[in-house]
Amino acid sequence: MCKRLKANPATQHIPIIFVTALESAEDEETGLELGAVDYLTKPLRAGILRARVRNFLTMLRQQELLQELALLDPLTEIPNRRALDRTLEQEWGRCQRIHEPLSLAMVDIDHFKSFNDTYGHGAGDRALRQVAQALTSAAKRPGDLVARYGGEEFVILLPHASRNGARKLCRMVRHHIETLAIPHQGSDFGVLTVSIGGVTLWPHRNGSPAEILQRADAQLYRAKNAGRNRVFWEEDTGEL
């Protein structure tokens, strides 16, 4: 039974405690090697068993919390690059199996170095949090993911989203961030803005998750070269 539980991904992380009349050192060694977290022999006091179970459940919750924190960006409190890579790989495989589209957008804050130089890193941190909040409030379907890609770049991952739907959401996000009216003297628009590049594709066996990131990044490059504060989707001419 222990072997079966540990072989199943759905149950392999459940702590197992042996309570048994087998008390030899060899039996205990076998139980622990099979993956048990503890090995208790009879006769056993119920209070000791409850305490052991309680301690291991507490330890398990702490481990889960640490794993969750490892996938969060500490500044913006949204998923980080590691979480994005993990989720993108899962959604790529899922959309490939069920023949559904996968949309992804790269978001970059325009002239952010200039913003930091002018207003200070404290203001820059606040701006990053405001942009992160604007993105997460827009991408709120089950399965949608907004992650901080690094620096002033973010990614919006939209599984099963059509090209038109994903592009419409990103245009709304771009407009919303502009209307936040965060002052930015170094911008041609006078306020903080973002450039967005996106792509919608149907994952295929010969492709990889890196492909959709590269293609979205190419569209972001086009948006920034066209004057920034724009949304470029693959095959688009680009719109404000």
- Tell me whether residue 23 is one of the annotated catalytic residues: no
Sign of the dihedral through C-alpha 205, 209, 211, 215:
positive
The beta-carbon contacts of 199-202 under 8 Å, at least 24 apart in sequence, are 199/103, 199/104, 199/105, 199/233, 199/234, 200/101, 200/102, 200/103, 200/161, 200/162, 200/163, 200/166, 200/167, 200/233, 200/234, 201/101, 201/102, 202/95, 202/96, 202/99, 202/100, 202/101, 202/102
Residue listed under structure tokens 């119920």: 46
Tokens of 39: 């090995």
Q: What stretches of the chain adopt beta strand conformation (E)?
A: 17-20, 38-41, 102-109, 145-150, 153-159, 194-201, 231-233
Given the residues 152, 178, 234, 239, the one annotated as active site: 152
Catalytic residues: 152
